Amino acid sequence: MSRLWRDQIQVFLAPERVNLVRFLRGFKPVQVAKVTALCKRAQGAPIWQSALQQLEKNLADAAGTELAITLSNHFVRYVTLPPQSEIATPEEVKSYATFRMREVYAEHVDTWILSISEWNPINGAICAAIPRDLMARLEQMATHYHCKLKDIEPYLASVYDHWHKQLSGTKIYFAVIESGRICIALLTNGIWHSIRNQRILHSVAHELLTALDQEAIFFGNKEAVELVHVFAPEHPELTLPSNCGWRIAPIPTQQIPVLAHYPSALANHSEMDQCPA
The sheet with strand 125-131 has its strands ordered as: 77-81, 125-131, 112-116
What are the two backbone dihedrals, phi and then psi, of residue 253, each rounded to the nearest 5 degrees? Answer: -75, -10
Say whether 98 sits in a helix, a strand or coil.
helix
Measure the CA–CA gap between 267 and 257, rounded to whole angstroms: 22
Per-residue DSSP letters for 140-162? HHHHHTT-EEEEEEEHHHHHHHH
Measure the CA–CA gap between 201 and 239, rounded to whole angstroms: 17
Alpha-carbon distance values, 87 to 92, 125, 161 (Å): 6, 12, 24
- DSSP-derived letter for residue 1 is -
**pLDDT value for 272:** 44
In 3D space, the residue among 189, 193, 226, 190 whose CA is nearest the CA of residue 208 turns out to be 226
Say whether 121 sits in a helix, a strand or coil.
coil
Percent of the chain topping pLDDT 90? 81
Exposure string for 172-196, b = 16+ CB within 10 A, e = fewer: bbbbbbbbbbbbbbbbeeebbbbbb
Strand 148-154 to 181-188 pairing: unpaired
What mean pLDDT do residues 185-205 have? 95
Per-residue pLDDT of 33-92, as tens digits, reads: 999 999 998 889 999 999 999 999 999 999 999 999 999 999 999 999 999 999 989 999
Band of the pLDDT at 222, cuts 50, 70, 90? confident
All structural domains of the chain, each given as residue ranges with its CATH number in brackets, are 1-162 (3.30.420.380), 167-250 (3.30.420.260)
Say whether 185 sits in a helix, a strand or coil.
strand
Strands (E), the chain: 8-14, 17-24, 30-38, 66-71, 77-81, 112-116, 125-131, 148-154, 171-178, 181-188, 191-199, 226-231, 246-250
Tell me: pLDDT of 3 over 80.
no
Per-residue pLDDT of 148-165, as tens digits, reads: 999 999 999 999 999 999
Q: What is the pTM of this model?
A: 0.91
Minimum mean pLDDT among 58-62, 175-179, 204-208: which range? 58-62
Per-residue pLDDT of 124-156, as tens digits, reads: 999 999 999 999 999 999 999 999 999 999 999
Minimum mean pLDDT among 23-27, 51-55, 87-91, 179-183: which range? 23-27
